Structures are given as structure tokens and as C-alpha cells.
């Protein structure tokens, strides 16, 4: 019995690793854990269920809905919407929990099941452990409580979720986008309708790419993991900036008017300064992960802001934000959390707020992004190795010590197993790009030989 939950729900190749039977079992287990005390007395628990447009999401959604209803949970089925929309609707509709079917930025054959607790919050480790334990108990033959007659859950199509979520996004913007031209890349994913509509309602002139999902093309050549199309489209259309979300739209990366990338660290820097000026950056602190570029640390110091760093994963960023009462945090990958308006990373909201900063200052995004200088950073993903042995491999530990000695105070090394994919990530920063490449390549070779 391996661990089911990774850093962001349960993921795997749909119909191979993640089957309909597993999805049904997980939903039943989650119902027993998440639909407990705390809801309104005398009514059945309610769950919001959404998905991204992957073909496999159709049968997995059916399995989840069947499991929930069979466990006595009423289901509000919101259809294809972003992950942060499901989180928002879970909270705003007063549901007991939410379920999202998505593998985010992963390729189309993958899919995943992600749960949100009451209020639209990501699950604590303890809740995931309880769901997993219940799942394995049911799989081993222990029956669950099966209501009959009027006790079974009812399933309702909730079509109002789209407008409710878009209205929320536009309503929290600090400045309208009138006069801006924005290219929106929706990754052929869950935000293919939401993101263009939100930018249009906020006043922007929009050009839309990557917004024709067919169930098979999610993240394929478009979105935050494939920026080439956006880099070309922004200058070609004379746009002020471009925004790219990933398949489930919990991430956002950007492109300035020249076609240059603006990554999650730069977005955090720009929004951190903007929120500080507006008085909404609580404790003058930004939360980021250890994967953030050293340039972000230096930028925050120059701006008189504090930077708190966490383990990799937006869930750990969120935990630190809640613990310290902070309002802005995120990852270099584009997971940005604005806690006053969202309970999780929201790519569309992030893009809107970045565009709002451009509109409010009347300064190009390229100029705003100069608040931070990115140090050369090389990331190598080493596949086909035993990532579970990273922490205990002496040869690897000695190689990291030697790499850090070579870099001195001008760079750093980070080596970690991916929480969502079967690989080990080698990240090296240095003042010189050639040195960063050389050190990263050498470490990657050691990872292959030691863990292969």
C-alpha cells in the first residue's frame, strides 16, 4: 500500500494508476472524513464537484459523483471550471467540501483528484491521512454506511458557478484594465471560458489563444508550461502584456510587451510592491519557497520588505501565510496566492492583478519587473531514477557539498524529488550562467549514476 496523496492531491495516469474504482473509493472515504460535524444540523452534507476538460475527467467525475451520492452527500456539479473556482464556490456556497478532477500542468493522459475542506481550503496532512486510511479500509472489505431511500445524495447541475466566479474576480480588482491590450493563453484548459471573460469584463481588449479544449489538447503547446506561443503573440498583436495559465488555472506566468518572460518570482515582486503601496501587504511580508530565485530575496531587501521561505509546494506557502497572517505568497512556477481574495493559487486572479498594476501605474510590465534582477538559474529534471533515495544517498550529499563549495556566497544548490512527477529536480543558481550550467550538469550526472 503506497502513499496515495502527493503534494497536490492524488494523481496518476487516468484509467491505469487512477481508475474509476479508485476515484469512487476516494470520494466515499472523503465523504466520511470531510462531511462530519460542522455543517448545518438536519441537512445532508453538500459537495461542489468540478473538473478540467481532459477526456478522462468525464468518467472520473461520474465515479466521484456516484461515490458521494451513495455516501449521502448532495452534489453541486459545476462542470469545467478552474481549480480556484471550485475552491471559491465551495466557500461562497457554504458547501461542506469540494472536489476537483485535474492533473493541473501535467500532460493529458494524467488526471487527479483534489479535495477542498469547508471554506474552500486545501486539506491539512492529517485530513489526507484520514481519507487515505478510510480508503484502504474500504478497499480491504470494510463496508461504508450506505443510506437508502430519501437518504441518498442528490445531484444538481450548478450552471451559475461560472458567472458567480467571474463576478468575484472582477469585483476584487484594485483597478480596471481599460486601455490595455492583453493576450490570454488558457492552455486549452479549465479557464478557456473564464479567463477571457474576466479580462473582458474588467475592461481589457483581449486576444485569446489556447482556448479551444477538445479533451485531448490540454497543456499541449500552450499555457504556462509552454510559453512560445504567447511570446510570439504579444508583440505580433502589439499587446501590452500576455498572461498564461496552466491546465487547471491555479498558476500564472506572464510575458511583457517585448515578448520576454515574467516568472512567478517577478510577479510576486511586482505585486508585493503594489500591495505595500495600497496598504494590503500584511506585515510587509511576502512568502515564497526555497526554489525562488535569489534575486527575489535581494529585491525584497531593497524594497524594505520581508521574505519568508518555505518548503516547495503551494500548500506549504499557504500554511505559512495562515500561520503568520500574511496576504501574499507563491512560487516561481506561478502559483500565487492573494489570501484576501482566494484560498489557493488562482492564475486568472494573478494575471488580472498584474494587469491592474500596469493599468494603474501606466508603466510597461517590462519596467515594473525591473524591481527584481533574476540571477542565472539552471533547473534540470532527472528522470528514471529512484527519487525516494535522495535524502539517504551519501554520494549525492558529498556532490552537493562540493558544488556549494565551488559556488561560495554567489550562488546556491537545491536538489529535491518532485512531489507530482517521477523525477529529481536539480537547481543551481550562480552569478555566472556558464558556471550554473556546469555545476547543474555535473550534479545531474551524479544523480543519474547514484540513483539510476
Query: What is residue 156's three-state secondary structure?
Result: strand
The neighbouring-strand residues paired with 333 are none
- Does 392 carry a binding-site annotation? no
Per the listing, cell 556546469 goes with 438
* Cβ-based neighbour number of residue 405 at 10 Å: 8
CA distances from 19 to 12, 22, 26, 63, 262 (A): 9, 5, 11, 9, 37
Query: What is the distance between the alpha carbons of residues 371 and 107, in angstroms, rounded to a whole number?
Result: 34
Reply yes or no on whether 292 is catalytic. Answer: no
User: How far apart are alpha carbons 66 and 124 in whole angstroms?
Assistant: 25
Which of 56, 102, 104, 333 is catalytic? The answer is 104
Question: In which residue are the cell numbers 555545476 written?
Answer: 439
Is 248 marked as binding a ligand? yes
Closest listed residue to residue 9, CA positions, set 139, 138, 97: 97
- Distance, in Å, from the CA atom of 147 to the CA atom of 133, rounded to the nearest integer, reads 21
For CA atoms 389, 395, 399, 402, the dihedral sign is positive
- Binding site membership for Mg(2+): which residues? 104, 246, 248, 250
- Binding site membership: which residues? 104, 246, 248, 250
Annotated catalytic residues are 104
Amino acid at each position: 500500500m503506497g502513499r496515495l496523496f502527493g503534494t497536490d492531491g492524488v494523481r496518476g495516469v487516468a484509467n491505469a494508476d487512477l481508475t474509476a474504482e479508485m476515484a469512487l473509493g476516494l470520494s466515499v472515504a472523503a465523504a466520511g472524513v470531510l462531511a462530519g460535524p460542522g455543517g448545518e444540523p438536519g441537512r445532508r452534507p453538500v459537495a461542489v464537484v468540478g473538473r478540467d476538460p481532459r477526456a478522462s475527467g468525464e468518467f472520473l467525475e461520474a465515479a466521484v459523483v456516484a461515490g458521494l451520492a451513495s455516501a449521502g452527500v448532495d452534489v453541486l456539479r459545476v462542470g469545467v471550471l478552474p481549480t480556484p473556482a471550485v475552491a471559491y464556490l465551495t466557500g461562497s456556497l457554504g458547501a461542506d467540501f469540494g472536489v476537483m478532477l485535474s492533473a493541473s500542468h501535467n500532460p493529458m493522459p494524467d488526471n487527479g483528484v483534489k479535495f477542498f475542506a469547508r471554506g474552500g481550503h486545501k486539506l491539512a496532512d492529517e485530513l489526507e491521512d484520514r481519507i487515505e486510511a478510510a480508503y484502504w479500509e474500504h478497499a480491504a472489505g470494510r463496508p461504508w454506511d450506505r443510506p437508502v431511500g430519501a437518504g441518498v445524495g442528490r445531484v444538481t447541475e450548478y450552471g451559475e458557478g461560472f458567472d458567480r466566479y467571474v463576478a468575484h474576480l472582477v469585483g476584487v480588482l484594485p483597478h480596471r484594465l481599460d486601455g490595455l491590450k492583453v493576450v490570454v493563453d488558457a492552455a486549452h484548459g479549465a479557464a478557456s471560458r473564464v479567463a477571457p471573460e474576466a479580462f473582458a469584463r474588467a475592461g481589457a481588449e483581449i486576444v485569446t489563444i489556447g482556448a479551444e479544449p477538445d479533451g485531448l489538447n490540454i497543456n499541449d503547446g500552450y499555457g504556462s508550461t509552454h510559453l512560445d506561443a504567447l511570446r510570439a503573440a504579444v508583440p505580433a498583436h502589439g499587446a501590452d502584456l500576455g498572461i498564461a495559465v496552466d491546465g487547471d488555472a491555479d498558476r500564472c506566468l506572464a510575458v511583457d510587451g517585448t515578448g520576454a518572460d515574467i516568472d512567478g518570482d517577478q510577479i510576486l515582486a511586482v505585486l508585493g510592491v503594489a500591495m505595500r503601496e495600497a496598504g494590503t501587504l500584511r506585515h510587509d511580508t511576502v512568502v515564497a519557497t526555497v526554489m525562488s530565485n535569489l534575486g527575489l530575496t535581494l529585491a525584497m531587501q531593497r524594497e524594505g520588505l520581508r521574505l519568508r521561505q518555505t518548503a516547495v509546494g503551494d500548500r506549504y506557502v499557504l500554511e505559512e501565510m495562515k500561520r503568520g497572517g500574511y496576504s501574499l505568497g507563491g512560487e516561481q512556477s506561478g502559483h500565487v496566492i492573494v489570501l484576501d481574495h482566494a484560498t489557493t493559487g488562482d492564475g486568472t486572479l494573478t494575471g488580472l492583478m498584474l494587469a491592474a498594476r500596469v493599468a494603474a501605474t501606466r508603466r510597461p510590465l517590462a519596467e515594473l519587473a525591473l524591481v527584481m534582477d533574476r540571477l542565472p538559474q539552471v533547473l534540470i529534471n532527472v528522470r528514471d531514477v529512484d527519487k525516494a533515495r535522495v535524502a539517504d544517498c551519501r554520494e549525492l550529499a558529498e556532490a552537493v557539498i562540493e558544488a556549494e563549495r565551488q559556488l561560495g556566497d554567489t550562488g546556491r544548490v537545491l536538489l529535491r524529488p518532485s512531489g507530482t512527477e517521477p523525477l529529481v529536480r536539480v537547481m543551481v543558481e550562480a552569478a555566472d550562467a556558464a558556471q550554473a550550467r556546469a555545476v547543474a550538469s555535473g550534479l545531474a550526472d551524479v544523480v543519474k549514476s547514484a540513483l539510476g
